[in-house]
Structure 1
């Protein structure tokens, strides 16, 4: 039960080391001191807190709610005594947490970065810093020990560039005389106006990207991976607000990234009004839970993001079937440690597919559902096997179009066969396989099958769930490996596709490398690719360039598959 719904207790937070029982009792009495409802604090409360802090020679923090109740007394700085995200009352980009913090310090330097970070992470109504005179710190003033020399008020502002403001130094009586209710009403009005403006600007999910790289990763490789992650979020319907990454020898086992970077992400969530954090690495259940608690919004990893895109793209019954199986296989080992993240109401990235009821069910029911889906996938495999056997009896060669996602496979299929496969400049635009008949100029028929696009580190759940679809690749007579030559990472894409093909349980047929989108590249790049891959073809599926060479290659393969001689002049008249 949240702290604001229970009776006030006398627990002391922070470090108790060196404190005597009598001193702990003095701290506990702060819970029962009167606290004004419509003021930042009272003079009496400030003086009592300062005197006790000077006596103990340590900073103290007191947190009070809007009912005038002291809800936490801590020994240490605001950063050392702050509430965790899950302990705080419900909050949002348009409202604050309903808590204010009164903190003491001795160095007369005003609130430091750690205190202001605690202010932002907890979305406090206000942070009041009392500079207290203490014997060991009395350098600038002859004030007696325990005297409040000055006070400053810090509060959040909706401007992400400013983030917070700190008042000029004032006396304790000046701070105590200010109307807290008026201050708070004006401040929350500003936040509400900003949140409304953001909602009008975009109805998409506002996303922060977080990725981790080892110290051995090159700058170019990092840029390519981050660029692809941005494209994935865009394909899922999100709006990327900011990108964070960290290079370390090893990832943090509890949060993936270090504490400093994590605080930076959490602050940006508050500043930019983000409602989702996407991590570029697969997260363990513990990492996912800890990240959500630290940043205060939903966190999904790259695998969950890809599964979400597949859920958006699935149109046929078999596509939806395979996506649901993949999502449940991903969810099953993550039930433990998810905590409140299982209740994902309202839709959005990472919530599509099997639905809210599936996400809230227990392991036993999920396993039962997975078993049922696997039986249906097995039936789908058998159905596809019968279709392939029928094609083989007719001795029609089958060529499968494979390649990295967004390489232009669907455009190539549409141009060659007048098909109507979905074409879009986004990742995983096509999910369901499409097979069309193509007649070569000699009259020889072939079948072209457009398959789902690949991506590096494809989630293993997808490979397992889509085995019925991927069998179209393994059972094809030959593969046309389509590569987007205009993508700066085209060489890495070739390697990624090869790794996935090699990981399939059944060996694939021979491959023909087809470089697409050559109309978008420089002559120097094309010349380099021709030298590296002398047997490859170079085409533009959108403009129809290079189709003569492509059909000649298909015809040669048809003749080799049927053991018939190739007539050299059979397609000379093709335009």
Structure 2
């Protein structure tokens, strides 16, 4: 097992060997470390321009050296000794950083129950060789639920290395044991994603939009397989450029993560890679945004080969700019939200390799476009009109397709239950004349607020099913409180497509789930719309008649039936 890990990119082999040599320097069990070891660690940190962390057990053995902050280089759980609820792990961390212990480092100490965290501070202005340790700090855990750690005053290196650490650790463990303080209450469960949502209401968002967006994010997390255990909200004029929310709110989030056992924070907006890294360093757990949740759902839902390659392309394009500086995060196993899809083995490769993979996937998507284009040309030659069902996710498009065409498309009360477009033949017959009119009905992927640009690009082959249709049926879930916003979101996505059919029919679904008063008001506001219930088969005859009108086909009302 390698003794050096973390963000090794850009480190020369000679420097790496010097860092590895530190693990051969056995330290005294009753001291933090020797002066020579601290100075060597500091010198190498300055040389490679990265923080360094050394992990030492109570026998004085250097078991690991991590390139990165304490939060970024936490030990694997398998390497931490199993201890009781009131016992420390028997591991101490010595870190070289440019500042005193931050919250992210202290959270790492808490989660891994280190004996102590010693920080050797070299300010950025003094990182040129020869590096000089300006001051040091020593942090340890205390039996305080609100803030379960304490940090010493700044002290010179000479004082730090002369502390009798074994006696101090004995006293600290005794305090934890006698107080009945349970350290395991701060350990996040490992069975699944326990999610803390963070919503930011800015000046360009009203209260209703804000609440609707958070409610939808909760459903997205649920669909992705996570468990929402709490929500943190903040109102400010605009997002903080470095941490999205204000510093005080970051500390509140970090505290809730500790007390509620969250292992994932989801921000209800798109955030930059640097914002995600800054938040992770201060909060102590993974931070993802709304787009990553949607991509994760797509990765779970993709069934066909075409769907899988489009999802992989979207994920790689999204993650490529986020690879820089992730360090050991790149080696995490795909076992939670944001880690499914193309597989971490692809993400561990060099950026150039990933770019080549993206180029290959784009070529395959282009081939998929060409294949679907040929299929559409064949349909056009048969002169069978095509009608595409579009709408917000979970509006009932697949249910309507199943009811009207006896299809067997997967249906569930979930966001993005189906991804791949499904086309089925619908025959409408005139009983009096015996005239039969065939049309092709296509179920398309659902839309959502702020559909990620990466998905728009990767799914262009799928979305072309919309652009090449003869007419659209825009299905709306009338039972959803934000149905009006859903209409606007779908229209925004359609406007972003290169070309859409000039004719569209607005169809309000799930009318059986709303009050007669609401239904009457919406009927007055949208006199040209159709009102149906796919599950209860209400209004389907009227829907078929209006579809034929869109296509310029006339069959007398009351004389149509589903063939």
Task: Give me the TM-score of the superposition, normalised by structure 2.
Answer: 0.72
Quote the residue 1:241 is aligned against. Answer: 229
- C-alpha deviation, 1:324, in angstroms: 0.3
Give a deviation string over 1:525-564, Cα, whole Å, max 9, x none: 1122112211000011111111121122123334x1xxx5
Contact residue 187 and residue 261 of structure 2 kept, 8 A: yes
* Pair 272,87 (structure 1): closer, same or farther in 2 beyond 3 Å: closer
- C-alpha deviation, 1:217, in angstroms: 2.2
Is 1:457 matched with 2:450?
yes
Quote the residue 1:284 is aligned against. Answer: 272
Is 1:567 matched with 2:556?
yes
Contact residue 88 and residue 97 of structure 1 kept, 8 A: no
Is 1:210 matched with 2:198?
yes
Quote the residue 2:141 is aligned against. Answer: 125
Quote the residue 1:500 is aligned against. Answer: 493
Q: SS of the counterpart of 2:228?
A: strand
Give a deviation string over 1:417-450, Cα, whole Å, max 9, x none: 1111111111111111111111113321111110
Give a deviation string over 1:454-511, Cα, whole Å, max 9, x none: 0011000100000000000000110010000011110000000001000001233410
Is 1:528 matched with 2:521?
yes
* Pair 513,249 (structure 1): closer, same or farther in 2 beyond 3 Å: same
Aligned pair partner of 1:335 in 298, 319, 323: 323
Counterparts of 2:459 and 2:139, CA distance in 1: 45
- C-alpha deviation, 1:334, in angstroms: 2.0
Counterparts of 1:451 and 1:216, CA distance in 2: 31
Counterparts of 2:548 and 2:102, CA distance in 1: 70
* Pair 394,190 (structure 1): closer, same or farther in 2 beyond 3 Å: same
Quote the residue 1:484 is aligned against. Answer: 477
Paired residues for 1:251-400 under 5 Å: 251-400=239-388
- C-alpha deviation, 1:566, in angstroms: 3.6
- C-alpha deviation, 1:522, in angstroms: 1.1
Q: Paired residues, what number?
A: 449
Counterparts of 1:355 and 1:505, CA distance in 2: 32
Is 1:82 matched with 2:70?
no
- C-alpha deviation, 1:286, in angstroms: 0.8
* Pair 67,397 (structure 1): closer, same or farther in 2 beyond 3 Å: closer
Task: Give me the TM-score of the superposition, normalised by structure 1.
Answer: 0.71
Counterparts of 1:493 and 1:68, CA distance in 2: 53
Give a deviation string over 1:252-304, Cα, whole Å, max 9, x none: 11111111000010011111111111111111111011111111111111111
Give a deviation string over 1:351-399, Cα, whole Å, max 9, x none: 1111011111222111111111111111111110111111111111111
Q: SS of the counterpart of 1:287?
A: helix
Paired residues for 1:18-33 under 5 Å: none
Counterparts of 2:208 and 2:174, CA distance in 1: 52
Contact residue 476 and residue 486 of structure 2 kept, 8 A: yes
Quote the residue 1:96 is aligned against. Answer: 113
The runs of 5 or more residues in structure 1 that have no matched partner are 13-64, 75-79, 102-121, 127-154, 167-174
Counterparts of 1:276 and 1:513, CA distance in 2: 39
Contact residue 163 and residue 271 of structure 1 kept, 8 A: no
Give a deviation string over 1:53-112, Cα, whole Å, max 9, x none: xxxxxxxxxxxx9879996999xxxxx9434525876653xx5232389xxxxxxxxxxx
Q: SS of the counterpart of 1:506?
A: coil
* Pair 404,72 (structure 1): closer, same or farther in 2 beyond 3 Å: closer
Counterparts of 2:96 and 2:460, CA distance in 1: 58
Give a deviation string over 1:97-130, Cα, whole Å, max 9, x none: 32389xxxxxxxxxxxxxxxxxxxx99421xxxx
* Pair 125,555 (structure 1): closer, same or farther in 2 beyond 3 Å: same
CA RMSD of aligned residues (A): 3.5
Aligned pair partner of 2:208 in 198, 220, 235: 220
- C-alpha deviation, 1:570, in angstroms: 3.0
Which one has the largest radius of gyration?
Answer: 1
Q: SS of the counterpart of 2:182?
A: helix
The runs of 5 or more residues in structure 2 that have no matched partner are 7-18, 26-32, 40-87, 119-137, 151-166, 431-435
Quote the residue 2:173 is aligned against. Answer: 181
Counterparts of 1:68 and 1:515, CA distance in 2: 62
* Pair 71,366 (structure 1): closer, same or farther in 2 beyond 3 Å: closer
- C-alpha deviation, 1:313, in angstroms: 0.2
Counterparts of 1:234 and 1:383, CA distance in 2: 35
Is 1:190 matched with 2:188?
no
